[in-house]
Structure 1
């Protein structure tokens, strides 16, 4: 089960965080500050990949397959690349929508890029 997803820049600043299980606010700050240097962190296994100036970090339980989560991270980045032509940090609401389409309650529910982007495509058409 996926516990959380973080996007962290090279300076260690959290740019996006989504928690799928309750984590106390005080514990979140410590977790987000320390997480990039570890593969196993307390009661989480961390799967992370670096893309340009961002690290995408996924905390998982011991029972989760690390390789499948690693591929999920890559798929997530491909979806972001497909939707955004430039900087995503100004469109974090859209990133959250993409993430929510892919992961719900800590479980992967969709990986097909077109299906993940369907709600955003519909929103964009309504805005035109």
Structure 2
């Protein structure tokens, strides 16, 4: 089971967090500070697994971001590395060569993609095509809602003249 997902920049800024286990806000802040210090200081030639507090933290650096997932000690690290890579591939497909700014300005879409991949810390969908189709359907719903809201505001503006 995945306990949490963190995306941390090389400067130590948190870009995305998703918690699947209950942590208080104080514990979350401590976990983020502790793990970012631990992961950011590791050399690039060291392995991508860290034992931490009876768990394993699996991380992978893509460009300027570290994608980190905390799992149980007996879970398969290579499977989690594959989940991270799968998430990055879908982000790449959606944003077209994803970068840190895409995640900063479109964080809600990154969360939606992550929610399509993982539910309650367990892998949900392994097909990139299915996830892409679901994201396109969500985007179509958002656009339809925006158009409807725009037309309603136009009607209201005309009625109040």
The answer on whether the counterparts of 1:2 and 1:64 sit within 8 Å (CA) in structure 2 is no
User: Which has more radius of gyration?
Assistant: 2
TM-score, structure 2 normalization: 0.75
- Residues 26-59 of structure 1: per-residue CA shift (max 9 Å, x gap): 1110111121425111132100000011000000
Q: Which residue of 1 aligns with 2:46?
A: none
Q: How does 1:26-45 map to 2 (within 5 A)?
A: 26-36=26-36, 37=38, 39-45=50-56
> 1 or 2 for the larger relative contact order (CA 8 Å, sep ≥6)?
1
Q: Which residue of 2 aligns with 1:61?
A: 72
Q: Which residue of 1 aligns with 2:104?
A: 89
The answer on whether the counterparts of 2:5 and 2:68 sit within 8 Å (CA) in structure 1 is yes
Please give the alpha-carbon distance, in whole angstroms, between the structure 2 residues aligned to 1:44 and 1:28.
15
Instruction: Kindly state the Cα deviation for residue 10 of structure 1 after the two structures are TM-superposed.
Output: 0.5
- Residues 92-120 of structure 1: per-residue CA shift (max 9 Å, x gap): 10011111111101111112111122222
Identify which of 105, 108, 113 aligns with 1:98.
113
Q: Which has the higher helix share?
A: 2
TM-score, structure 1 normalization: 0.93
Runs of 4+ in 1 over 2 A off after TM superposition: 85-88, 123-126
Gaps of 5+ in 2: 40-49, 145-161
Query: Alignment length, in residue pairs?
Result: 128
